Structure formats: structure tokens, C-alpha cells
């Protein structure tokens, strides 16, 4: 189904747009799931597969990706945001990263240094991070990290949008690249592969979203830099993967099995449990931050949530796609209604006018892109406290640049 959709879409589009890249990503994920299911593995076994959950997942993924599939970035001009408005928010994001840079460097040096001397220490770093997980969500511990983390996705988009401008501010681009590096170093230093992989995926898709608005010269250089960046990032990810299984007999097989399982489990777990997990979580994961405002009994982190819903057949320790997060939170029917309403809203607010699209509309499309590209192999990445703050930040940023657009078009007067 995914391959047929990709081929049909490409025949109509005639170039690899961001929507086409996402469909290709779905095809690759399907292939990895196929390999995962039929490859003997020491870590997992799956139940027999049934057709209907796969059809439901296909429909849900197709509906949520419609804003990406409709966008024709090659033939749609970008209405640039006002330089002053863009630079102000970029400087704020960069400042937050600078304030936490010293702590992050220390964490990174400790993590990467111990792994160089003892490859097994990566697993110990990860275990230490998990042991502190029950403290998350209790309050404000580092305001700079919280604000910086809330802008972590948007910082990537801001960097590429700067490169689409007639006169890019390269100093700000470097500063935003520092934000990305800070995020990656903090994850590596803590022994967490997941955030590194997701952020790398986001960089690729954000580049593909904006590349048609860049000049040919900038596009060429950015593509080369990105390729080098991904190769560099892959080294510590591989080190962390090896460290997790350094004590296993037949470590090579354990590492390869882990990679296959990590990348291919989500669609298989959805088929097994996505439509029937033995109950629902009533929004405790996907709307955690917002639900806690009205219900003080809502679990504040995944440790408490797993304890509360220990009757479920699967929890968020495993991957089952962002679609699975919503079906397990609200049930299959309400989840599909949410997907439909969300997509209708995004399609309405991002409709190009005269083959032009404003930056605030791009932010809405980029939010959909992050949900999709980060959530197909994993889970809904805007969940819990940190994810809820990212949603709030995205909405505020959307209206910030919508105000900028209306002001620049003289639609409002100050």
C-alpha cells in the first residue's frame, strides 16, 4: 500500500518533495518491519499479524500527512518573515543554549570519555538516566534547559529559514547549529540514542522542507554539511548501541538484532496492540501537561503512568507509532476523529494563496512534519511535560509570526 501510494504520488509530483520523502520513509519503515518480523531475534517475538490494524494505521498515517502531501514547495513561494522578528526569537533560543552549554559540555565529556575507556559505560549512563526518570515532571530544575528544549524543534527550522533569506545571517545560523549540538551532546552524554536519532531525522526533513527556497549554491553546501554531520553523529550512536550489548554473548548478533528491532518494531507492535491494548489511558500520555491542569491525579511521568496502567498489554517502553499513542489513549474511534479534525484544521490554516505561503503557515506544516517523521518509528514526541511545552511554544511562535505577517502586509496597524 505504501509503495503504491509513493509511486502514484511521485508520478503526479515529478520531483521528490517533502511529502514524497515522507512516503519513502514510510516504505522504508515497512520494509524494516518486514525484516524485523521474519528475522530470528534474541530480544523479541511478535504475535501473528492481522490485516485490519495495518489498514487502520495506513489510513491514519495518510490522513495526518495530507498537509505535507498537498504542499508543492517547488512551485510555492515563501513569504519571508520580517528579519527583526525572526532574529529576536533566534537570539532568545541561542541565549538559552549558551547558558546551559557549560553543563552540557561536562556531561558530554564525562559520557564520551568513559565510553572511550570502557565501551560498557554507555549502558551504565543509560541506566543512570532511567533511575532518575521518576523525578521528571515534578517542577522546574533548569529554566534554561526547559526553554531551550521547548524550542529544540523550532531551532532547526529557524536555521534553515535563515538560509532561505536573500542575505542569511550566518552568525545566527551558527548559533542555532550550536543549539542542535547542545541537544545532541546532552543526549549522548546521558547514554540516550533515541533523541539523537529523532533530531537527526528532523534535520533531514526540515532541510527537505526548505531546500527549494534556498539558492542552488547554498543548497549544495548545506547538503554536503548535513551529510558530514550525520556521519559524525552516527559514531557515538553506534558506540552507545555497542555499549548496551557489550556483555551479551555474540555481541555482533546482539547489536544487529537491536538495530533491526529498534527501527522495525513500531508497525508490528501497533498491529498486535494498537487497536486493543486491554484498555485506554484517557489522554494521560498525549495530553499529559494539559490534563494535569484540570486533573491533579494525572501521572506526571512515564514511571507513574506505567504503574497506573499496568493492566495494559503494552506501554510506552515499546514503540508503536504516534498513531498507537492516540488509539491507546482514546480508543480507535476517537483517535481517528482527532486525526480528521486536526488535519482539517491544518489544511485550512496552511492553504497557499496565489502559490505563496507565509512563514507562520510553514510553522504549522513543520509541526505536522515533526509529529510524522519522529513518530512513525517511535511514539508521539509531543507527549508528557516536555512535549506539551513544545506544543505551547509552537502555537505561540505560530501566532508570533502570524502577527508579523499581518503587520508587514499592513493588515493591522500598531
The pLDDT tens digits for 179-199 are 888 888 888 777 777 888 899
Q: What is the pLDDT of residue 126?
A: 54
Cβ distance 395 to 354 under 8 Å?
Answer: no
What is the rounded average pLDDT for all residues in the chain?
86
Specify the pLDDT at position 204. 94
pLDDT for the residue numbered 414: 47
- Taking residue 38's Cβ as centre, other Cβ atoms within 10 Å add up to 8
Spans of the chain, pLDDT less than 70: 40-43, 110-141, 243-255, 412-414
| Per-residue pLDDT tens digits for 299-323 | 988 888 999 999 999 998 889 999 9
CB of 22 closer than 8 Å to CB of 68: yes
C-alpha distances in Å from residue 44, one per residue of 170, 230, 264? 47, 29, 12
Q: What are phi and psi of 78, to 5 degrees?
A: -90, 125
Amino acid at each position: 500500500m505504501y509503495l503504491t501510494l509513493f509511486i502514484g504520488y511521485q508520478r503526479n509530483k515529478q520531483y521528490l518533495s517533502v511529502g514524497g520523502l515522507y512516503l519513502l520513509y514510510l516504505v522504508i519503515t515497512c520494509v524494516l518491519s518486514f525484516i524485523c518480523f521474519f528475522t530470528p531475534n534474541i530480544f523479541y517475538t511478535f504475535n501473528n499479524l492481522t490485516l485490519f490494524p495495518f489498514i487502520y494505521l495506513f489510513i491514519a498515517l495518510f490522513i495526518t500527512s495530507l498537509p505535507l502531501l498537498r504542499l508543492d514547495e517547488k512551485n510555492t513561494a515563501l513569504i519571508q518573515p520580517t528579519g527583526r522578528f525572526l532574529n529576536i526569537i533566534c537570539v532568545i533560543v541561542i541565549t538559552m543554549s549558551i547558558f546551559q552549554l557549560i553543563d552540557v559540555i561536562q556531561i558530554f565529556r564525562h559520557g564520551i570519555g568513559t565510553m572511550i575507556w570502557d565501551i560498557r559505560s554507555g549502558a551504565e549512563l543509560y541506566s543512570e538516566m532511567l533511575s532518575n526518570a521518576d523525578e521528571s515532571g515534578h517542577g522546574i530544575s533548569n529554566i534554561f534547559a526547559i526553554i531551550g528544549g521547548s524550542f529544540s524543534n523550532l531551532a532547526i527550522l529557524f536555521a534553515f529559514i535563515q538560509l532561505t533569506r536573500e542575505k542569511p545571517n550566518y552568525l545566527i545560523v551558527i548559533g542555532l547549529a550550536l543549539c542542535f549540538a547542545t541537544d545532541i551532546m546532552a543526549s549522548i552524554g546521558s547514554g540516550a540514542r533515541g533523541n539523537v536519532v529523532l533530531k537527526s531525522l528532523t534535520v533531514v526533513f526540515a532541510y527537505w522542507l526548505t531546500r527549494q527556497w534556498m539558492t542552488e549554491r547554498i543548497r549544495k553546501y548545506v547538503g554536503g554539511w548535513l551529510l558530514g554531520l550525520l556521519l559524525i553523529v552516527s559514531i557515538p550512536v553506534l558506540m552507545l548501541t555497542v555499549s548496551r550489548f557489550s556483555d551479551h554473548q555474540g555481541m555482533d548478533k546482539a547489536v544487529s538484532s537491536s538495530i533491526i528491532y529498534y527501527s522495525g518494531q513500531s508497525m508490528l507492535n501497533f498491529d498486535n496492540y494498537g487497536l486493543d491494548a486491554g484498555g485506554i489511558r484517557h489522554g494521560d500520555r498525549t495530553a499529559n501537561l494539559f490534563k494535569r491542569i484540570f486533573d491533579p491525579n494525572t501521572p506526571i511521568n512515564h514511571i507513574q503512568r506505567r504503574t497506573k496502567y499496568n493492566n495494559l498489554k503494552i506501554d510506552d517502553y515499546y514503540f508503536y507509532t504516534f498513531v498507537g499513542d492516540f488509539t491507546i489513549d482514546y480508543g480507535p474511534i476517537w483517535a481517528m476523529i482527532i486525526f480528521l479534525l486536526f488535519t482539517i484544521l491544518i489544511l485550512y490554516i496552511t492553504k497557499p494563496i496565489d502559490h505563496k505561503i507565509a512563514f507562520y503557515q510553514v510553522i504549522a506544516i513543520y509541526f505536522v512534519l515533526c509529529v510524522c517523521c519522529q513518530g512513525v518509528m517511535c511514539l508521539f514526541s509531543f507527549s508528557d511535560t516536555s512535549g506539551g511545552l513544545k506544543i505551547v511554544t509552537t502555537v505561540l511562535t505560530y501566532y508570533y509570526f502570524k502577527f508579523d505577517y499581518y503587520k508587514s502586509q499592513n493588515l493591522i496597524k500598531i
